[in-house]
């Protein structure tokens, strides 16, 4: 786990975000259990940006913090049509996961990286289905910039999802996989977040201290289409 002070602006971070960063740093490789660590060789190195902000309009009634998510293009070879954090594979010009996550977010949704404080880099996590070793990068959106679909070959839609929506117990459930595993998921209208992205969000909400009690007996079988190719409802990397 690598942490970043965030510079002078770190003093303006909300308490829940400071707690989240501290807990990620303290937990180290165990922060995102039960995700496994990648193999020593052979993994495709990637990074995703877990970008939080105070909200699109902090002064509006009912407004609050949000997180940036994307719906992946339905024509992609891997994880088509799924909800995910901005991100992608490391390229030769990237200095590391931080650079890759910010570059990918800029290319995919038009993010202005100058307005982002990088707070922490977690240990890499293994996604066997795609052979990727993914490093989640925690960021605070100090100066939010307009975002939208820039690369239509990668992204179908972009959303700033309020944490209040993710925290609402009515939107939370477990999906039972064919092998019996039960994975956290979020139902948001016509989109369901599950798999890697939901697992990360589940841990982030818990570590931030914002999590509300929810019914862990609400268990649904994973829809067969989730395990295949692109559909409108889906999960992240």
CATH number at residue 51: 3.90.79.10
Residue 98 falls inside a structural domain: yes
Give, for 38, the enclosing helix (H) or strand (E): none
b/e code 14-28 from CB counts within 10 Å (16+ = b): eebbbebbebbbebe
pLDDT at 96: 95
pTM: 0.89
pLDDT at 74: 57
Residue 218 falls inside a structural domain: no
- Adjacent-strand bridge partners of 48: 87, 136
Residue 51 falls inside a structural domain: yes
Quick check: 62 pLDDT over 80? no
Query: Mean pLDDT across the stretch 207-225?
Result: 94
Alpha-carbon span 185 to 197, nearest angstrom: 9
Calculate what percentage of the chain has a pLDDT beyond 70: 85
Question: Between 8 and 198, where is the model more confident?
Answer: 198
Range of the domain at 41: 2-163
The number of domains in the chain is 1
């Amino acid at each position: 786990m690598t942490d970043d002070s965030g510079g002078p602006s770190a003093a303006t971070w909300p308490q829940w975000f400071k707690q989240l960063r501290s807990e990620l740093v303290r937990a180290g490789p165990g922060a995102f259990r039960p995700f496994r660590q990648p193999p020593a060789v052979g993994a495709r190195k990637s990074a995703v940006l877990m970008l939080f902000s105070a909200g699109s309009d902090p002064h509006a009634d009912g407004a609050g913090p949000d997180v940036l998510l994307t719906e992946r293009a339905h024509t992609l070879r891997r994880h088509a049509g799924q909800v995910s954090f901005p991100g992608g594979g490391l390229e030769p010009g990237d200095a590391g996961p931080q650079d890759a996550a910010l570059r990918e977010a800029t290319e995919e949704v038009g993010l202005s990286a100058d307005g982002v404080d990088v707070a922490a880099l977690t240990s890499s996590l293994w996604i066997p289905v795609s052979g990727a070793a993914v490093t989640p990068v925690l960021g605070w959106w100090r100066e939010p910039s307009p975002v939208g679909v820039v690369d239509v070959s990668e992204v179908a839609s972009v959303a700033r999802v309020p944490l209040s929506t993710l925290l609402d117990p009515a939107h939370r459930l477990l999906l039972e996989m064919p092998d019996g595993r039960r994975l956290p998921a979020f139902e948001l209208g016509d989109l369901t977040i599950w798999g890697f992205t939901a697992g990360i969000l589940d841990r982030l909400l818990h570590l931030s201290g914002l999590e509300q009690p929810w019914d862990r007996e609400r268990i649904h079988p994973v829809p067969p289409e989730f395990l295949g190719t692109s559909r409108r409802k889906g999960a992240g990397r």
